[in-house]
Structure 1
């Protein structure tokens, strides 16, 4: 397949690198400092999936008019979705499917607004990666295989979904196809909603959230609201009740990652925009749509935005003082 990766940071580079190594024709579109290093030395992938150097990648820092593609992988931040897909729509000459491998809710709907639901696919990704140096990425953690599928209401052929999943899986990234991708995306959102905002606001690791009854109660309220919203949105979750999910979250999901700090906190500390509006913020927006109160998710979203904005202002003031 001829594949373009839009937003080739850590996750996009891993997908692009493995697919290129698997024999596919891959173009990465990303930040110049990363693309130039890959062009000069190849893409170096290290970590739990072994060491790889991939030299058969085409790299771009801006998107030209492009034809003959079979698939676009979208790996930009959720708040960049509309801008990126609009750019793709202007420059991609053929009606190819766009597979979102992003965090949070709302990405599929935004893509479908621009290119239509029949070209919109979603993916659930729960392995982690980071850019160590320009041109170098490391796969740091793996929880479960990637799941890909068309959004609800799409007429995208099941056979083509299976082909995409088989291509990813055959390249060395465990992957399967589904006709219920929203169920898998919501499963990841529940985890992120319960942990990321509270740990980022309090500036603690995930394990600390389990050590205090107040923070455990806060996580319960987040999940209760999220379940109510998901049910109203006709999403079939893998757990029959909030209590069933919370038991798994507290006993099985948090302990292995107890020492981890959320990437959301790292974004705040570095003066970057977070993806809160695609996680707790999205739950709150869907609550408004279905007339379901979500005061906890709404409040947490506001607090993260406050911290995020304050940190960006700090960085701007620091730059002014150093000029």
Structure 2
């Protein structure tokens, strides 16, 4: 397959490298020092699970140079989605399938404002990876998984082909027939973890061990669950409780990428995480007071340039 990976950071760099190493025709869309290093030195993935060294990397900062593709994987920050979607119109119109591996549950709605709806498949990934240095991706832990599927639940020939490509690259992959529910399952946990760790400026271990903070975490998880159910996701009645118990299994020092961004004065994905819960909840008539309160506390930092104390 000819695959375009838009965003060669931790997620795009890791999965793109696995696909390229397996023989797929991969083009990376990157920028800055990372792009320059990929062009001159190649791309290296430091990983206990699947280390890779690519010496011949096809990378560019200009999507206009790519004239056809079978599949586009989107792995940029959520605030870049509108811009990327507009630039992908020619490829999608010529038949490219598009899968976003970004966080969030409204990302594909954004893509659908510009791209043919039939070009978009739902997707979610589970991985901890980041750019360690220009041209170097650091993957932490043994988890590197993708779940994707057609929004109408059918098992299409293109989905089968994508599945074969992913699995052929050694990527743990599942084809889902209810991708909406899968997206919300990850999203509920992500909103709870990112919002509460960031507002408290503390890792999960501190929060789950403090009764008051633990209750706040539960309430945010419960609000996101209620909003997801109202939006059509098949989530169990006790899903928030399940997610809180899952938090008890995590390393105590684990936090969130939003807290990392907050501490370093970077822009936050707050409007697309907690903000989505608030917006979708308002549309569905579901109240989200805890999420709204914490989002308000974090709002002064959302644009970046101001680091948390």
Give secondary structure in 2 for the equivalent of 1:140. strand
Please list, as runs of the form range in 1=range in 2, the aligned pairs for 1:1-323 lying within 5 A after superposition.
1-90=1-90, 94-143=94-143, 145-151=145-151, 153=152, 158-237=156-235, 240-241=236-237, 244-309=238-303, 312-313=305-306
- Say if 2:155 and 2:177, in contact at 8 Å, map to a contact too: no
- Say if 1:201 and 1:303, in contact at 8 Å, map to a contact too: yes
CA distance in 1, matches of 2:144, 2:267: 27
Give secondary structure in 2 for the equivalent of 1:189. helix
Measure how far apart 1:45 and its partner are: 0.6
Structure 1 residue runs of 4 or more that deviate by more than 6 Å after TM superposition: none
CA distance in 2, matches of 1:90, 1:2: 15
CA distance in 1, matches of 2:199, 2:243: 20
- Say if 1:65 and 1:92, in contact at 8 Å, map to a contact too: no
Shift of the 294–144 alpha-carbon distance from structure 1 to 2, 3 Å rule, reads: same
Q: Deviations over 1:208-252 (max 9, x none)?
A: 111111111112211222222112111112xx21xx334433333
- Say if 2:92 and 2:119, in contact at 8 Å, map to a contact too: no
Shift of the 91–124 alpha-carbon distance from structure 1 to 2, 3 Å rule, reads: closer
- Say if 2:88 and 2:115, in contact at 8 Å, map to a contact too: no
- Say if 1:66 and 1:92, in contact at 8 Å, map to a contact too: no
Size of the aligned set, in residue pairs, is 308
CA distance in 1, matches of 2:246, 2:108: 29
Measure how far apart 1:157 and its partner are: 5.8
CA distance in 1, matches of 2:29, 2:187: 26
Shift of the 265–110 alpha-carbon distance from structure 1 to 2, 3 Å rule, reads: same
Measure how far apart 1:256 and its partner are: 2.5
Q: Deviations over 1:118-144 (max 9, x none)?
A: 111121111110111110101113446
Measure how far apart 1:79 and its partner are: 1.6
- Say if 2:82 and 2:111, in contact at 8 Å, map to a contact too: yes
- Say if 1:20 and 1:56, in contact at 8 Å, map to a contact too: no
CA distance in 1, matches of 2:91, 2:175: 28
CA distance in 2, matches of 1:307, 1:314: 7
Q: Which runs of 5+ in 2 are unaligned?
A: none
Shift of the 116–302 alpha-carbon distance from structure 1 to 2, 3 Å rule, reads: farther
Q: Which runs of 5+ in 1 are unaligned?
A: 316-323
TM-score for the superposition, normalised by structure 1: 0.89
CA distance in 2, matches of 1:144, 1:15: 8
TM-score for the superposition, normalised by structure 2: 0.93
Give secondary structure in 2 for the equivalent of 1:123. strand
